[in-house]
Structure 1
Amino acid sequence: MKNLHLETDYPIEHKLDKDFFAPNICISAIVGQNGAGKSSLLDMIFRVVNNLSYCLFSRIERDASAPLSYITGLYVDLTYEANGKTGMVRVRDGVLGFVFGKLKCKFIVYKPEQAIQIGEELQEYVDYASVNFKHTERNSQSILLYDSY
């Protein structure tokens, strides 16, 4: 993947308010033709974040929230950068590794021979949760993942 920067010779004629551009706003987009895998990429990111949340927070009692479930069958590396440090979440089915700067964690959720794959019923729930997650503004950072179906 690469970043795409668009430069145009067409100036914007419309005058914008001074406070239209707030500090610390970054707009990123995933673009591509139909069938290129945009929705699959967002679903995979959602599932990796879900599994990381399961490993970190599944034993913490939370008010009015559904219990977290670990999603099996994933083999994904999700690399990111924050505060000048590179981090990575690596999922290998029942094993999840997390690295951020000097911090390294490894969670063994289950042994592969004990794995139960997602059934159709759970798959529908995951798809529904993914759509709701992608259309919902999250946290104070105002991250909006939007995917049109």
Structure 2
Amino acid sequence: MTLSARGLATAPIMILNGPNLNLLGQRQPEIYGSDTLADVEALCAEAAAAHGGTVDLRQSNHEGELVDWIHEARERHAGIVINPAAYSHTSVAILDALNTCDGMPVVEVHISNIHQREAFRHHSYVSQRADGVIAGCGVQGYVFAVERVAMLVAAGA
């Protein structure tokens, strides 16, 4: 299936989560809240379903696995929502992989407002490729990201 032929009815939105997000709801709840990754998946599935779509949510603590999944998304998914977590600030490899996703919507999401945190968190390599960046909205930011990807897919972006 070509990218231009993919819509939400035929291809899911890939939602990628980087390191330590497997501990969402347990790790630093004062920053990241008490919702779990399973809660995020349920929110995203509901948001995608409202647009006739589905999601494929994955999490890895390994940069190479995230790169492999981005390569897979090029062939099988309608768009990507990515919370690269700490890899936002360090991974040229993830940026390079996202740059191979020509014509595919990519929205970056961060649960916390990275611009109110340590200075090293203010820069994201992923933002250079993202069609949108959502930060500081808690897990609700994932819903906003899914909705944005759905709108971009519908517009043929």
TM-score, scaled to structure 2: 0.24
The structure whose residues are more often helix, as a share, is 2
The structure whose residues are more often strand, as a share, is 1
Look at both structures and tell me which one has the larger radius of gyration over its CA atoms: 1
TM-score, scaled to structure 1: 0.25
